[in-house]
Amino acid sequence: MVNYSPRLSATFSALADPTRRAILARLAKGEATVTELATPFTITLPAISRHLRILEGAGLLERRKQGRVHHCRLAPHSLQEASDWLTFYQRFWDSRLDALADYLATSNETSSD
């Protein structure tokens, strides 16, 4: 399972920023307006908007406009793709480490004889 999709790269790039991760954590609790998302941060509203555009571009956020108010919600599809990618490599490394542990156990048994 090798996945070099641009969407996966955009997802990991978006997740690399702590502000964007905090925004996603807030959206995991439910839909919020841009103003509500900006409240806990000491950065400007335009800076929050840039973060939201990056999250939206990565497919992690969906936005709808109602009048002048932008409502945002979590879009879990891209997170699922990233989770699948991580799970594949977790299984890979788990099996490799298990094989190494078996080899070392066998090697130690042979050495002590």
- Domain span holding position 16: 6-112
79-112 as b/e, with b when 16 or more CB fall inside 10 Å? bebbeebeeeeeeeeeeeeeeeeeeeeeeeeeee
Q: What is residue 81's predicted lDDT score, i.e. its pLDDT?
A: 85
Query: Total domain count for the chain?
Result: 1
pLDDT at 109 over 90: no
Model pLDDT for residues 21-62, shown as the tens digit of each residue: 999 999 999 999 999 999 999 999 999 999 999 999 999 999
Residue 1 lies in a domain: no
Residue 76 lies in a domain: yes
Model pLDDT for residues 3-28, shown as the tens digit of each residue: 567 888 899 999 999 999 999 999 99
The CATH number of whichever domain residue 92 belongs to comes to 1.10.10.10
pLDDT band at residue 101 under the 50/70/90 scheme:
confident
